[in-house]
Structure 1
Amino acid sequence: MGHRRASGWLRSTLAGDRPPTTRPTATGAGDLIGFVVAAACVGALTGLTAATFRLALTGAGGWRERLTASAHGHGVLGLLLVVLAGAACTTAAASLVRRVEPHAEGSGIPHVEAVVEGRAGPGRFRILPVKYAGGLLAIGGGGLALGREGPSVQMGSTVAVIVSSLARRSRADLRLLVAAGAAAGLATAFNAPIAGGVFVLEELLKSFHPRATIATLVASASGFAVAAPLVGGAPDFHVPALPGPRLSEAGWVLLVGVVTGLLGVLYNRAVLAGLHRVDTGRWPVEARAAVIGACVGLLAWFGPQLVGGGDHLTQEALLGHGTLPVVLGVLVVRFVLGVVSYAALTPGGLFAPMLVLGSECGLLVGLVAARVAPGSAPEPAALALVGLAAFFTATVHAPVTGLVLATELTGSTDQLPPMLGACAVAMTVAVVLRSRPVYDLLTDRAAARSVA
């Protein structure tokens, strides 16, 4: 009898029904142990899923790069092939979302936040395969300027829904496990287990309640442990040895905070404006995605390094490489490309594109400083790292996550004091300009669309 009931719950979840609410949240030691075991299972399964997604995404990106390189030997026909490939991959990803699972659209973090807040249902199991396949098509094949972390987070939350249903957890516990799955997904996406947990507690839950903290940290740790043998546990980015910060450099650090704060506010408004244009437009989803994919394919023909998630661009900025015209050009192109890519309504996150913009913005200030005050200016690479954390803070309003994420991504702690100062300034600029966190804005949209 018990087996038949469990099977029924799983079938209900796979079919798209909400997990049953069978009992209130218990508080005994036995229940807490069961809850911790469930969180560990969520983390482990999410780590496996997100790690294979990350590896597959690398393979898909390599295929796109090889196709573009070989196509250059065939002139106009090669150009047409690259453009059509970008259009086809992006169209397929958008069609999967529209026809199979609309909740798999975009980053996925806003939908997870709406679920955690109780403003939307947990969604259906098919979010996971649509997010997985759609992300590979859009980011890997199509080259859209989107990140792997959004799909990883939402796939983790879907894993949590299934585990919660099988374990007969209460609805309150389900929401906590959904948040825990999100932490595990982010931890795997960036090899950043602490940042994964902190982001969920600071941004999604906005609480450090003991039960929430336990679930989040356990899932993040178990996800990282399972994923590390597959993707490696080293920091994603390398930063050269940098001199310690000096008080005389504070002016340049504060300038990075002001510039990233302004740019972060502008980026949030641009992303929302792009989505508003899409929501109120009359173009069919597939047609719009095809045009966007074709444009990205055209850009890939002339500048293949400019498309995709952009990790290589972040790495170059963190090494301090670039000239003023090139860095400014990359910053402008990636700003526009990020907004346009998100408007395609395919699976893909905002974290990775934001890392590019933040590091390039900091590098730009660093290069200007090197010209204006040679010999006494901060290292451009140091300001690139500072800019990475500050831009994230300005857009997401999660300064602790920004500091921890920048540290875990690079393994560098030398620049924590200037990062703290720049994050404080960037956050102040965003608040003064009354800019809401980007995920709050997107969560409102996701909740409204879920009700509709």
Structure 2
Amino acid sequence: MRPFAPHRYVRLLRHRLRRRAAFRGLVRRSEFAMVLLAAFIGVAVGLVAWGMGAAAHGLQRQLYGFGPQMRLSTATFIADWRLLLVPAAGGLALAGLNWLIRRWRPKSPVDPIEANALHGGRMSLNDAVVVGAQTIVSNGCGASVGLEAGYAQAGGGIASRLGRAFALRRADLRILVGAGAAGAIAAAFDAPLTGAFYAFELVIGTYSIAALFPVIACAVTAVLVARGLAAGTYAVETAVPSVIDNAAYPLALVVGALCGLSAILLMRGVGLAETLLARLLPSPALRLLLGGLAVGGLAQVSPVALSAGHGALHLAFVTEVPAWPVLTLLLVKALAAIISIGSGFRGGLFFASLLIGALGGKLFAGVMAMLAPPGPDALVMAVVGMSAFGAAVIGAPLAMTFLALETTGSLAVTGLVLAAVAVSGLLVRRLFGYSFATWRFHLRGEAIRSAHDVGWVNDLTVGRMMRRDPRRVPVETALENFRRLFPLGSVSQVVAVDEAGRYAGIVSVAEAHAAPPEEGLAPLLQHRGTVLLPGMNARDAIAAFELAAADALAVVEPASRRVLGLLTESHLLRRYGEEVEKRRREESGLEAGPP
């Protein structure tokens, strides 16, 4: 038996580490390797989307007792006691699951938009497991939420984990997280263009050539995997006329405006429901129980209140219904969605917004038919309403436009949709300022409105930029001694401190040499009450400089006010400008620095 040789083991370990580093470097430097990595992520995301959809649908079948080809939102033969009690029991089950999750992982999950905006694309796979389990339980028990949040969380989490394994740059990791989310949404809706532009508009925050190829590769691969597994989770199919009358364009603009205003009411309603229920019912378990009972009560009116509403959307496209029943279904679905999310069920409004918008489009067509027979084509208005309302809630107008194109295959209808989503998106942007995702961030206190990378601003702190060895002088120093210690040209500003070493002000050396000899330092002290803290970010520091009209400010320890350093406005602006230019080059695909 060969004796153990430590030097051979060390050489082998070094060789393996060099090979691993070389492989990582190849992925970081090669655009082609990034595309292959994104395609591999698409395979994983397609499998996950299929698994989550099958799990939620299987749970619904077991709880409500319907066949494999039936959809919960259109099942009319389910016993009333099931419709009423199953969502409430699911709420209690979710409360128990949340209690276990808080003991295991008390930190709130970071979703792909937040990760790309604040954390440079860093996400946790544990968060994907948490959100996936919560959305499956919520959707499976019949709460009026979709699985899109779980899909996107899983796609982004898988992409982030692999990207960090290859030590990707911040910009590349953000693109890869967007690609993972694109694959998830594309697989869920069987719509690769929809998934890709969902990523560009919501998760990456911008479109660039550098991001195009990985995002498309992941979206297409995920769709192919989902089709191969016959997932068909949220696939929407319909047929529309191939020729659209130009008179339909003004009507589409009106539908877009109505959808934008209605979407604002829906999002406000979710926030109001959360606030009121949290105030009236402090217990999360009690909120979920009563929320489930309320959804079950709405299901007594129509099963459209249950789950995401896939089957109901299909029926909305293929059946003709009078205006008043459509209004009833619309109100039932909107109230169910507000109560479900407001009471604490986990999920998204993506698919619910599509159903509400389609019902709203059909309602508009029905009202117009009563006012001016025969009215517009109800199916066309349903597609327009679906896309316009979805764009207003989700905040992705091009993604919704491509969803209409991939749903109908009609460029003529896509033109109508584009006009409607532009109007609805503009109204929401001007009157509300948030999509549903960013509105949720706002309610939590996060100051982000999109996935644009602002995390680097928080990383660029005063503590990192300050000069740590500023010249100090006791405030009681005589002016003549100060001039001898700091002759003209030696330094621009000197920090004055009191007997206890606390900050007292800043002295300009030029002003000290120009002052009358009989004056001390006290009259020369500047910015006594304006200081910087080491944890302040660059934007806050710039605002402090503008308010104080200062060339330099001291950085002090918050509690003791001891001087930690000095920061000049010129250095701050230069560093901020360098970072802004670096992000601009990364977003445009021009960044080609060393890994």
Is TM (by shorter chain) over 0.5?
Answer: yes
1:239 alignment partner in structure 2: 238
Structure 2 CA distance for aligned equivalents of residues 94 and 233 of structure 1:
30
Unaligned ranges ≥5, structure 1: 6-21, 73-77
Structure 1 CA distance for aligned equivalents of residues 343 and 203 of structure 2:
25
Q: Deviation per CA, 1:197-222, whole angstroms, max 9, x where unpaired?
A: 11111222221223322222221122
How far residue 176 of structure 1 moved from its aligned partner, in angstroms, is 2.2
Does structure 2 retain, via aligned residues, the 8 Å contact 1:113–1:204? yes
Does structure 2 retain, via aligned residues, the 8 Å contact 1:160–1:181? yes
1:59 alignment partner in structure 2: 58
How far residue 98 of structure 1 moved from its aligned partner, in angstroms, is 4.9
Cα 1:103–1:353 shift into 2, 3 Å: farther
Structure 1 CA distance for aligned equivalents of residues 203 and 282 of structure 2:
33
The answer to whether structure 1 residue 265 and structure 2 residue 264 are counterparts is: yes
More moved, 430-439 vs 176-185:
430-439
1:133 alignment partner in structure 2: 133
1:393 alignment partner in structure 2: 391
Structure 2 CA distance for aligned equivalents of residues 92 and 449 of structure 1:
33
1:11 alignment partner in structure 2: none
How far residue 188 of structure 1 moved from its aligned partner, in angstroms, is 1.0
Structure 1 CA distance for aligned equivalents of residues 279 and 340 of structure 2:
17
Letter of the 1:100 partner, please give it.
I
Cα 1:385–1:272 shift into 2, 3 Å: same
Letter of the 1:149 partner, please give it.
E
Task: Determine helix, strand or coil for the equivalent of 1:308.
Answer: coil
Cα 1:165–1:2 shift into 2, 3 Å: farther
Task: Determine helix, strand or coil for the equivalent of 1:247.
Answer: coil
User: What aligned pairs does 1:235-384 form with structure 2 within 5 A after superposition?
Assistant: 236-242=235-241, 244-277=243-276, 283-375=282-374, 377-384=375-382
Structure 1 CA distance for aligned equivalents of residues 86 and 238 of structure 2:
35
Does structure 1 retain, via aligned residues, the 8 Å contact 2:362–2:379? yes
Structure 1 CA distance for aligned equivalents of residues 380 and 436 of structure 2:
26
Cα 1:160–1:104 shift into 2, 3 Å: farther
More moved, 114-123 vs 412-421:
114-123
Unaligned ranges ≥5, structure 2: 1-9, 15-20, 67-74, 449-454, 456-595
Cα 1:178–1:243 shift into 2, 3 Å: closer
Task: Determine helix, strand or coil for the equivalent of 1:263.
Answer: helix
User: What aligned pairs does 1:134-213 form with structure 2 within 5 A after superposition?
Assistant: 134-140=134-140, 142-213=141-212
The answer to whether structure 1 residue 113 and structure 2 residue 113 are counterparts is: yes
How far residue 417 of structure 1 moved from its aligned partner, in angstroms, is 2.1
How far residue 294 of structure 1 moved from its aligned partner, in angstroms, is 2.3
2:437 alignment partner in structure 1: 439
Structure 2 CA distance for aligned equivalents of residues 264 and 438 of structure 1:
9
Does structure 2 retain, via aligned residues, the 8 Å contact 1:112–1:179? yes
Structure 1 CA distance for aligned equivalents of residues 341 and 210 of structure 2:
34
How far residue 69 of structure 1 moved from its aligned partner, in angstroms, is 7.4
Structure 1 CA distance for aligned equivalents of residues 220 and 12 of structure 2:
30
Letter of the 2:414 partner, please give it.
L
Structure 2 CA distance for aligned equivalents of residues 100 and 2 of structure 1:
44
Letter of the 1:400 partner, please give it.
L
User: What aligned pairs does 1:3-18 form with structure 2 within 5 A after superposition?
Assistant: none
Does structure 2 retain, via aligned residues, the 8 Å contact 1:253–1:386? yes
Does structure 2 retain, via aligned residues, the 8 Å contact 1:191–1:409? no
Does structure 1 retain, via aligned residues, the 8 Å contact 2:441–2:447? no
Does structure 2 retain, via aligned residues, the 8 Å contact 1:147–1:350? yes
Task: Determine helix, strand or coil for the equivalent of 1:126.
Answer: helix
Cα 1:94–1:196 shift into 2, 3 Å: farther
Q: Greater helix share, 1 or 2? A: 1
Structure 2 CA distance for aligned equivalents of residues 71 and 153 of structure 1:
31
Letter of the 2:416 partner, please give it.
P
The answer to whether structure 1 residue 421 and structure 2 residue 419 are counterparts is: yes
Structure 1 CA distance for aligned equivalents of residues 12 and 206 of structure 2:
36
1:10 alignment partner in structure 2: none
How far residue 123 of structure 1 moved from its aligned partner, in angstroms, is 4.1
Task: Determine helix, strand or coil for the equivalent of 1:415.
Answer: helix
How far residue 257 of structure 1 moved from its aligned partner, in angstroms, is 1.6
Structure 1 CA distance for aligned equivalents of residues 54 and 313 of structure 2:
19
Structure 2 CA distance for aligned equivalents of residues 350 and 229 of structure 1:
27
How far residue 438 of structure 1 moved from its aligned partner, in angstroms, is 2.1
More moved, 360-369 vs 52-61:
52-61
The two structures have a TM-score, normalised by structure 2, of: 0.64
The answer to whether structure 1 residue 406 and structure 2 residue 399 are counterparts is: no
Find the structure with the greater CA-based Rg: 2
Cα 1:221–1:398 shift into 2, 3 Å: same
Cα 1:265–1:169 shift into 2, 3 Å: same
| Greater RCO, CA 8 A, separation 6+ | 1
Cα 1:117–1:103 shift into 2, 3 Å: farther
Cα 1:4–1:312 shift into 2, 3 Å: farther
User: What aligned pairs does 1:17-36 form with structure 2 within 5 A after superposition?
Assistant: 30-36=29-35
Structure 2 CA distance for aligned equivalents of residues 233 and 136 of structure 1:
16
Structure 2 CA distance for aligned equivalents of residues 39 and 62 of structure 1:
34
The answer to whether structure 1 residue 221 and structure 2 residue 220 are counterparts is: yes
1:44 alignment partner in structure 2: 43
Structure 2 CA distance for aligned equivalents of residues 432 and 27 of structure 1:
45
* Identity between Structure 1 and Structure 2 (%): 24
Letter of the 1:43 partner, please give it.
G
Superposition CA RMSD, Å: 3.5
Does structure 1 retain, via aligned residues, the 8 Å contact 2:26–2:33? no
Cα 1:82–1:373 shift into 2, 3 Å: closer
How far residue 292 of structure 1 moved from its aligned partner, in angstroms, is 1.0
Q: Greater strand share, 1 or 2? A: 2
Matched pairs, number: 425
Structure 2 CA distance for aligned equivalents of residues 84 and 38 of structure 1:
45
Letter of the 2:426 partner, please give it.
T
Does structure 2 retain, via aligned residues, the 8 Å contact 1:184–1:219? yes
The two structures have a TM-score, normalised by structure 1, of: 0.83
